[in-house]
Chains A and B, each alone.
Chain A
């Protein structure tokens, strides 16, 4: 049984369909385990169809369909689900027993609550199965809202306070304990979302300005703070803010990128996000330790990917990369700059397979 959000559900390029769901890490892991594993298959081209070019305005999607398009669930509906993850889920939404009031503010991802879970919660759907082994990867959306916020990126209001997170996460674990059937699990930590290429460091814009005469990047985009040897926090520019500026300048209209703008994530805001994630992961690790479950921190894996040439590609890149449309953010990240690509989903599954085998002395076959 897999709990989670968009990564666990299998979103790629801000789209979800059977083509991406079947490549999600829990599906690959379950296949290696040899256990039946049902996920809420969405017919192709998806709900919505994945993005083909994020830099178009609006971004183009498979078959040229709009982002409001939603293919229905496949007609062959399984009697129960093993992957109950739904995109947009934060820890609180796993805890809600229904979707009546009081509820968090409406979100575009609410449709997944209907189309994937039928108006029930992850916990409700999971309880139908009486799972014996679970993976839980939640918490990313408790902080990722700060990089995706088109109103004021990086603001503290988009981040679940660590103390609140701890309360909610522990309540979630208590709920899982109440199943009475779970014999083990793997708790996966929260990703340091400031590393997602959706938010590029200001220095890359500065570098790009050398190739775009009409683009002026102020020096405040080079602000940084060394928080540990070899670990520097820098100003971050979200794609939804930076890309139109670059596009306009490249078209010949003078543009200035001022990183004091509220759309830009300041060093202070970035540090706040990093600190929150560290505290989240301390909570998750403690929950795993208390149950003698496996804890997996995904960040070393992602840092290793970041060190791999071409795996994670900052935006904007100059000179232009011929692969910028196919893999605008690198081969490790899908075309939305946030969600893992197919190859990274496999790397995550392989990492989990190895960690589970090591922790539980199991013999799950390797994932090819």
Chain B
């Protein structure tokens, strides 16, 4: 039995929460693989992580291989609002991304294993002063994959592998609602009249929404093949099926004090709102929280895209192995929008249009087995962006990246080894919106408006409403990580 422990510490500057892969993909699923920039589809690491990187690599293992580890991700960075150039710093905690692999070489040709890891997920946490809080200020997508896998050496030069994908998905979204965008829930006003038209300033929080939903299902499978062209040269490929997960959970709305006092008496149809009335009391009187935004069930669907990876490995001299991988991920096919549907018909559904694009990863890696105790690794990767410029949001301000990695494996004993890796990530600034373009949090509504005229000595101009009322840049890029 060989056991290994991997430890990855990631500090990502400027690209909140997601590492090493586009969209909300995570590729840091083993310290050995991370050290060589995620390459190895043609020759996976021997720590059992082949379950993810290429299940065909399980064939030919001898005995038990158990590895466990994780990546600690610390994303730092900030978002620059185009209009004011105000910068808001990301407030992410350390995020653990676990990976556990158990593999067993049942025969010289047959290998089996099971892995638990999180190839998709994100967490972004912004302070409540951030304008992007209406899109989401504390967001989590966490997908734990459990992959029971089997591999067989069909011929001395060809191994095939595959398995099931059991996915536990969990989604949390916390956002604020902006009163200025809400339609006034009163009959009589022109349809669609918003609080902004009564002067309520954009950025007036009045409610907090907490959405939480989970689901576990067998979503599909994963497959791989490795062809050993020669003792020095191998070709490998793997395919991870998409995982469509229908989440069901709860939406909890809580009132957030606006702190606004109505400064003038307003008459809306038969109702009079006296000057000095807190706006929060007005909202309660309108039944905003009981009728429009009650706690309720919520559903959404998120699909993790397919991944296809093809690569080669080559041993130019004893102890040295070079790797080259290419990955294609179907973000554009699977993540065009993030819909959130509420059970209460009066609560408008939300739709975050993402319009992601399919992406490519190019990875190069190298490994040098210095001796029986020490192995050194390094790599470089480049990936294209999933989010087009027009849909980049603070929810996930990802972009094209260049990454450099370095790592080492140390054999502590015949049965124990430990791996480390370090990764430097460079992502260029991205400009983006802080608010959802689709807008849509507005219930139907309204009546007519009036404000009373009271006079202060010495003033004359008299504005009143009346019964006749007619009418960013996601920042810096450069990061480091240790694994």
**Residues of chain A having any CB pair with chain B under 8 Å:** 6, 11, 14-16, 36, 40, 43, 47-48, 65-75, 77-81, 87-88, 98-101, 103-120, 125, 128-130, 141, 144-146, 148-151, 157-158, 240, 336, 338
Specify the main secondary structure of chain A where it touches its partner: loop
Given A43-B471, A117-B201, A130-B85, answer yes or no on A109-B463 (Cβ-Cβ < 8 Å). yes
B457-481 interface with A by 8 A CB criterion: 457-466, 468-471
Q: How far is the CA of A48 from the CA of B264 in the complex (A)?
A: 15
Interface centre among A11, A112, A114, A145 (most CB of B within 10 A): A114
Q: B261 contacts A99, CB within 8 Å?
A: yes
Does B84 sit within 8 A of A, measured CB to CB?
A: yes
Chain A residue with the shortest CB-CB distance to B435: A79
Given A72-B449, A110-B454, answer yes or no on A115-B199 (Cβ-Cβ < 8 Å). yes
- Provide 26 A-B residue pairs closer than 8 Å at the C-beta atoms, listed in order of the A residue: A14-B460, A16-B463, A40-B199, A67-B453, A68-B464, A70-B449, A70-B463, A71-B470, A72-B449, A72-B465, A77-B196, A87-B461, A99-B263, A100-B261, A101-B276, A103-B276, A108-B453, A108-B464, A109-B459, A110-B275, A114-B198, A114-B262, A118-B180, A118-B198, A118-B260, A130-B86
Given A77-B180, A110-B264, answer yes or no on A68-B462 (Cβ-Cβ < 8 Å). yes
Taking CB atoms, residues of chain A closer than 8 Å to B468 are: 65, 69
Q: How far is the CA of A158 from the CA of B460 in the complex (A)?
A: 13
Specify the main secondary structure of chain B where it touches its partner: loop
B224-278 interface with A by 8 A CB criterion: 259-264, 266, 275-276
Taking CB atoms, residues of chain B closer than 8 Å to A100 are: 261, 276
Chain B residue with the shortest CB-CB distance to A16: B463
Q: How far is the CA of A75 from the CA of B192 in the complex (A)?
A: 9
Taking CB atoms, residues of chain A closer than 8 Å to B264 are: 106, 110-111, 113-114
A50 to chain B, nearest CB (A): 10
Q: B459 contacts A145, CB within 8 Å?
A: yes
Taking CB atoms, residues of chain B closer than 8 Å to A43 are: 470-471
Given A71-B470, A72-B465, A130-B85, answer yes or no on A117-B199 (Cβ-Cβ < 8 Å). yes
Does B456 sit within 8 A of A, measured CB to CB?
A: yes
Taking CB atoms, residues of chain B closer than 8 Å to A79 are: 83, 202-203
B167-183 interface with A by 8 A CB criterion: 180
**Residues of chain B having any CB pair with chain A under 8 Å:** 83-86, 180, 192-194, 196-204, 259-264, 266, 275-276, 279, 449-451, 453-466, 468-471
A356 to chain B, nearest CB (A): 22
B472 to chain A, nearest CB (A): 12
Q: How far is the CA of A87 from the CA of B463 in the complex (A)?
A: 9
Q: B461 contacts A71, CB within 8 Å?
A: no
Interface centre among B201, B260, B261 (most CB of A within 10 A): B201
Q: A111 contacts B193, CB within 8 Å?
A: no
B385 to chain A, nearest CB (A): 26
Taking CB atoms, residues of chain A closer than 8 Å to B462 are: 14, 48, 67-68, 108-109
Taking CB atoms, residues of chain B closer than 8 Å to A77 are: 180, 194, 196-197, 202
B204 to chain A, nearest CB (A): 7
A58 to chain B, nearest CB (A): 11
Q: A130 contacts B84, CB within 8 Å?
A: yes
Chain B residue with the shortest CB-CB distance to A115: B199
Taking CB atoms, residues of chain B closer than 8 Å to A74 are: 197
A182 to chain B, nearest CB (A): 13
Q: How far is the CA of A130 from the CA of B88 in the complex (A)?
A: 14
Q: A72 contacts B460, CB within 8 Å?
A: no
